[in-house]
Amino acid sequence: MDTILIVEDDKSFCHFLNKALSRAGYLVEECHDGETALERVKSLAYNLVLLDNKMPPGPSGLEVLQRMKEADIKLPIIIMTAFGTTETAIEAMKLGAYDYITKPFDLNDILNLAEKSIEAGKLMREIVSYPESPEIGNVKRIVGSSKKMQEVYKMIGQVAVTDATVLIRGESGVGKGLVAQAIYHHSLRNKKPFLSVNCAAIPEALLESELFGYEKGAFTGAEKRRIGKFEQVSGGTIFLDEIGDMSMSSQAKILRVIQSGEFERLGSNETQNVNVRVIAATNKPLAQLIRDGKFREDLYYRLKIITIDIPPLRERKEDIPELVDYFLKQKGVGKSLVIDQAMGKIIDHSWPGNIRELENTIQRAFILSKGQIITDNHIVFDTNPHAANQDMEHLESQLDYHLEILFKHIFEQSGHNIHSNILDRIEKFIIVRALKETGNNQVQTAKLLGISRNTLRQRMNKYQLD
């Protein structure tokens, strides 16, 4: 259970807030002066501190904030005050506060803010390791020993100790966020803040203000100056997830931050300077978006200084037993709980939702089996009658992404015979896959491909397929 410390000299308000947060499922503790709060933070572990700014006669909330951050820079702290000023807000954010809220506030606002700040704190603390990294103890792991994943681990190790911008590419659910966390935790900035921003989850009209902040009066509802994520994370790392969904206007500002470390808050002409490492991720083919006029080419090349391509689960099925074992061990059991027929069913599935879908499927199977032996009857996939069509649409949506990677290598190696080499490689691949699908039955393979058996034999001779 997540634990929140309320530091507030108004005992009646503190009790009210304690009751509301406890009802929301948090374990809540109270104290009524800054010095006591500092002692507790040094000796106990909290997921969040709600800190009042004025607590006479002791130190102010800003003083307590600064000393708490010196003790634990990754502890999320929200400043609360009935005497909100722009200067206080700016100073609180510069000192490392996660956010700033003015009394009286709506209860839903503080509950939403608490949830977001606790999640941000967990991302900073939750160390993500990979097989080639040093052992750090009980941490979250990226799982898989396939050749394709070994390449991913190699890239993480090479890029983590640099300050280079990284672009992580891959379908939804493959673990792009875990790779970003692994880079952060093994980087030289791992003692500084880390913030994750899902560009697809924030409405376009709000994304720029979320990233860069705004001045009072910059737009309707901007009642006070607000610090954006880039200023909050200065000195640390920001993870821009699903950057392919970002507007062209926001892309221009991101480009400027990467190039010069400069930006302006919305409604301001004053230039702000930050030192932030950017890690970005996308499940969209950015090269195609560039051709469609939806993504800046100059930003694309700035982001892809280092590119890490994460393979979909269907392309590394040899990792599935290891992943199943990992998810079951989180439940306190192991892979031996799964009978062969169930494992075969798991491996044969196409996994359009990738690792996320596999984890949900294993969790569902564990519940259905009541923690006993997992049979193939416990392995339940999407029962939507349109699931097959959705799977095909999902695969087709990723076609440009995979062709982009394939053609890049072909263009580099094919010299002047690009057209012929592309067609030959694709045709050979299709024939090999069709033969495998039919158990090397040439009659069925020809029928599957819609060609005659003689044509199939000619193509097999051409590509030396025995």
Give me the pLDDT at residue 137, please. 57
* pLDDT above 90 as % of the chain: 50
Q: What is the mean pLDDT of residues 12-26?
A: 91
Task: Look at residue 66 and tell me whether its pLDDT is greater than 60.
Answer: yes
Range in 55-69, 119-133, 284-298, 388-402 with the lowest mean pLDDT: 388-402
Q: How far apart are CA 198 and CA 30, in angstroms?
A: 33
pLDDT of residue 226: 82
Distances (CA, A) of 389 to 312, 350, 353: 19, 13, 14
Residue type, 242: E
Give 1 or 207, the one with higher predicted confidence.
Answer: 207
Stretch among 48-57, 277-286, 410-419, 457-466 having the lowest mean pLDDT: 410-419
Closest CA to 54 of 112, 103, 5, 3: 103
Determine the CATH number of domain 128-308: 3.40.50.300
Residue pLDDT, tens place only, 382-422 = 655 344 444 444 455 455 555 665 666 666 655 566 667 77
Specify the pTM.
0.76
> Which homologous superfamily is 3-120 in?
Response regulator (3.40.50.2300)
Chain Cα centroid distance, residue 81: 33
What is the arithmetic mean of pLDDT over 52-57?
83
Confirm if 197 and 211 have CB atoms less than 8 A apart: yes
Q: pLDDT for 97-120, tens place per residue?
A: 898 888 888 888 899 899 999 999
Q: Provide the 3-class DSSP secondary structure of residue 305.
A: coil
The pLDDT of residue 257 is 95
348's CB contacts (< 8 A; 6+ apart) are none
Start-end of CATH 3.40.50.300 domains in the chain: 128-308
Average pLDDT over residues 157-172: 94
Look at residue 415 in the predicted model and tell me its pLDDT.
58
Confidence of residue 443 (pLDDT cuts 50, 70, 90): confident
Residue spans of alpha helices (H) in 145-264: 147-160, 176-185, 204-212, 229-232, 248-260
Residue intervals of the chain classified under CATH 1.10.8.60 are 313-381
Share of the chain above pLDDT 70, in %: 90
Give the residue range(s) of CATH 3.40.50.2300 domains in the chain.
3-120
Question: What residue spans in the chain does CATH classification 1.10.10.60 cover?
Answer: 414-462
pLDDT at 131 over 90: no
> Class of the 414-462 domain?
mainly alpha
Distance of CA 131 to the CA centre of its chain: 19
Q: What is the pLDDT of residues 302-355, one digit of tens each?
A: 998 899 999 999 999 999 999 999 999 888 887 778 999 999 999 999 999 999
Q: Can you tell me the mean pLDDT for 259-276? A: 92
Which element (helix H / strand E) includes 99? strand 99-102
Least confident of 197-201, 286-290, 317-321, 415-419: 415-419
- Asked if the model's pLDDT at residue 15 lies above 60, the reply is yes
Q: Domain 313-381 is in which class?
A: mainly alpha
Q: Which range is least confidently modeled, 132-146, 218-232, 297-311, 364-378?
A: 132-146
Amino acid identity for residue 145 in this structure: S
Look at 31-40, 151-160, 436-445 and tell me which has the smallest mean pLDDT: 436-445
d(CA 374, CA 339) in angstroms, rounded, equals 6
Q: Which own/partner contact pairs does 197-200 have at CB distance under 8 Å and 24+ positions apart? A: 197/229, 197/238, 197/239, 197/240, 197/241, 198/241, 198/242, 199/240, 199/241, 199/242, 199/243, 199/245, 199/246, 199/250, 200/241, 200/242, 200/245
pLDDT tier for residue 367 given thresholds of 50, 70 and 90: confident
